[in-house]
């Protein structure tokens, strides 16, 4: 894996990502993994299509990473986001933050997922079993 910001249709292993980010100076590694859930709004989900704005997604994820590094006392951040057709239980997004202190690692990780949702051009389209209609 190249870089600390990845946009890919390949799956990832959060434990392997931790090994990339963790350092012996750190006392905490906090991770977030977003997965495709099997139910939303009372309807059974059969899968999800994740689309991205190819020219901007990695650039915007890099901004999120840079902001976290500037605003929190952390050592490193890795963000990976998948795109394409995904099934129930598949990984969608992974964030790994390392820091000397757990509080900073937790705060930065939450900041990254919240900012990602606000500013990164990624769209998720759930496929529902019930009626064949899709919702965002």
Instruction: With cut-offs at 50, 70 and 90, classify the pLDDT of residue 91.
Output: very high
Block residue for tokens 């901004």: 63
Structure tokens at 122: 């990624």
Q: What share of the chain is helix, strand, coil (3-state, %, to 5)?
A: 30, 40, 30
CA distance 28 to 127: 37
pLDDT exceeds 90 at position 105: yes
CA distance 94 to 113: 9
pLDDT exceeds 80 at position 114: yes
Running DSSP on this structure, what letter comes out for residue 131?
A: T
Mean pLDDT to the nearest integer, 80-106: 97
Mean pLDDT to the nearest integer, 37-49: 92
Query: 5-128 domain in CATH 3.40.50.261?
Result: no
pLDDT exceeds 80 at position 4: yes
Confidence at residue 3, expressed as pLDDT on a 0 to 100 scale: 78
Confidence at residue 135, expressed as pLDDT on a 0 to 100 scale: 53
Instruction: With cut-offs at 50, 70 and 90, classify the pLDDT of residue 136.
Output: low
Mean pLDDT to the nearest integer, 80-92: 97
* Least confident segment among 40-44, 71-75, 102-106, 122-126: 40-44
The pTM of the full predicted model, rounded to 2 decimals, is 0.91
Structure tokens at 50: 């994740």
């Amino acid at each position: 894996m190249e870089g600390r910001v990845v946009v890919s249709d390949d799956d990832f292993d959060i434990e392997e990502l931790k090994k990339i980010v963790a350092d012996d100076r750190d006392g905490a590694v906090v991770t977030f993994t977003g997965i495709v859930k099997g139910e939303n709004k009372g309807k059974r989900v059969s899968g999800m299509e994740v689309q991205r704005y190819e020219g901007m997604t990695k650039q915007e994820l890099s901004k999120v990473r840079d902001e976290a590094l500037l605003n929190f006392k952390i050592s490193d951040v890795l963000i990976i986001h998948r795109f394409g057709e995904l099934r129930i239980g598949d990984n969608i997004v992974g964030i790994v933050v390392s820091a000397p202190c757990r509080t900073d690692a937790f705060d930065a990780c939450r900041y990254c997922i919240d900012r990602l949702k606000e500013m990164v051009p990624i769209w998720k389209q759930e496929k529902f079993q019930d009626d064949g209609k899709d919702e965002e």
